[in-house]
Amino acid sequence: MTAPRTLLMNARKQLGDAGVASPEVDAAILLAHVLDTDRNRLFLVDDVSTDDEAAYADLLVRRARREPLQHLTGVAYFRHVELAVGPGVFVPRPETELLAGWAIDRATGLDRPVVVDLCTGSGAIAKAIADEVAGAHVHAVELSEDAYPWAVRNLAGTGVDLRQGDMADAFTDLDGSVDVIACNPPYIPLEAWESVAAEARDHDPDLALFSGQDGLDAIRVLERRAAELLRPGGVVGFEHADEQGPNGDRGGAPAVFAATGRWQDVRDHLDLAGRPRFTTAQLAP
């Protein structure tokens, strides 16, 4: 039997030495997971049993090897919803909540808005929109055979129209009728492989990460498909790497849309750290 305080102190050092970005938080989350409690209630625990301590030690070793925290707990939180995640599906990041929030704001107030989540992955954006926008008709598509079952699980009972397929030709039955499109596409350049954090590079699926030599291939596909799906005046928002903002090479991700002449009000948006994070645009009448 060991006191939680002692376990957490040792765990913080173990994870910090391994290069984990948030060792204190991760150590507490993993211990709370083992004890089936909330990390804010760990102070109520007097001692940890030998069996639980062994289970905790195993999880710490795996986290120190940079296995994603969410794979170890099986859960990711996104805005107000909970998602099941694991091998084969991209773990949603907090930054993407800003894109989802933009889509929710644009859909709110519309009469029965039609919203499409392209490259849905775990279903995070689609589930958040269905949760927060009353009366919305939400559609989502995912290409990966490994990720799709996770989306099925997460979107069950939400009313979201989930399909498996390529965003390049998805939802032809909705052409010209969509109000809002949100997309978190792959956008990492192939040449940047070594610079990607170990948690993503070694555990997130390549299909969700990499997109051609400049990282913009999927965004080019999105531009063409969004122009077909949206009604005149409809809007699209998509995430990109911070290096792909308007000051990036050749104008970055926003330039993909601005250069075609099909879009107006092309804007880039910063994340909470002040970095370029997502672009929005409106289909011209």
Map residue 262 onto helix, strand or coil: coil
CA separation for the pair 238, 267 (Å, rounded): 11
Residue 10 annotated as part of some ligand binding site: no
83 phi, psi to nearest 5 deg: -125, 140
Q: Cα–chain-centroid distance for residue 62?
A: 22
Residue 186 annotated as part of some ligand binding site: yes
DSSP 269: E
Residue 123, CA distances (Å) to 91, 138, 143, 151, 271 in order = 10, 11, 12, 5, 21
CA separation for the pair 156, 182 (Å, rounded): 20
CA separation for the pair 46, 257 (Å, rounded): 58
Tell me, letter by letter, the H, E, C secondary structure of 73-98.
HCEEEECCEEEECCCCCCCCCCCHHH
Residue 199 annotated as part of some ligand binding site: no
Question: Does the CA dihedral 155-160-165-167 come out positive or negative?
Answer: negative
Which helix (H) or strand (E) segment holds residue 239: the answer is strand 230-239
Residue 189 annotated as part of some ligand binding site: no
Per DSSP, which regions of 113-262 are E strands? Answer: 114-118, 137-142, 161-164, 178-183, 230-239
Residue 56 annotated as part of some ligand binding site: no
Residues found in the chain: 285
Binding site membership for S-adenosyl-L-methionine: which residues? 142, 184
Binding site membership for substrate: which residues? 184-187
Binding site membership: which residues? 142, 184-187
